[in-house]
Amino acid sequence: MRKHIYIIGMENLMKTKKIIIAIDGVSSTGKSTMAKDLAKELGYTYIDTGAMYRAVTLYSIQHGFFADGQIDEAKLQAAIADIEISFRFNPETGRPDTYLNGVNVEKEIRGMEVANLVSPVAALGFVRRAMVAKQQEMGKAKGIVMDGRDIGTVVFPDAELKIYVTASPEVRAKRRLDELKAKGETASFDDVLENVKMRDHIDMTRKESPLRKADDALELDNSRMTIAEQKEWLLEKYNDRSRNR
* Prediction pTM value: 0.76
Angle at 58 between CA 56 and CA 61, to 5 degrees: 115
Q: Which amino acid is at 123?
A: A
What does the longest C-alpha to C-alpha distance in the chain come to?
A: 55
Output the pLDDT for position 4. 44
Q: What percent of the chain has pLDDT over 70?
A: 92
16: DSSP letter: S
Tens-digit pLDDT profile for residues 189-209: 999 999 999 999 989 998 888
Q: How many Cβ atoms sit within 10 Å of the Cβ of residue 130?
A: 18
Compute the 3-state secondary structure of the chain and give helix, strand, coil in percent, each to the nearest 5: 55, 20, 30
Output the pLDDT for position 183. 84
pLDDT in tens, the chain (245 residues): 444 444 344 444 445 678 999 999 999 998 988 998 999 899 898 888 889 999 999 999 999 999 988 999 999 999 999 999 998 888 888 788 999 999 999 999 998 899 999 989 998 999 999 999 999 998 888 999 999 889 999 999 999 999 999 999 999 999 999 988 988 888 899 999 999 999 999 899 988 889 999 999 999 999 999 989 999 999 999 988 877 66
Output the pLDDT for position 205. 92
Closest to 168 measured CA to CA, from 26, 10, 8, 18: 26
Range 93-99, long-range pairs (CB < 8 A, 24+ positions) = 94/40, 95/36, 95/40, 95/46, 96/36, 96/46, 96/48, 98/48, 98/51, 98/52, 98/54, 98/55
Q: Is 70 exposed, middle or buried (0-12, 13-18, 19+ CB in 10 A)?
A: exposed
Output the pLDDT for position 241. 81
Is the Cα torsion angle 169, 192, 48, 182 positive or negative in sign?
negative
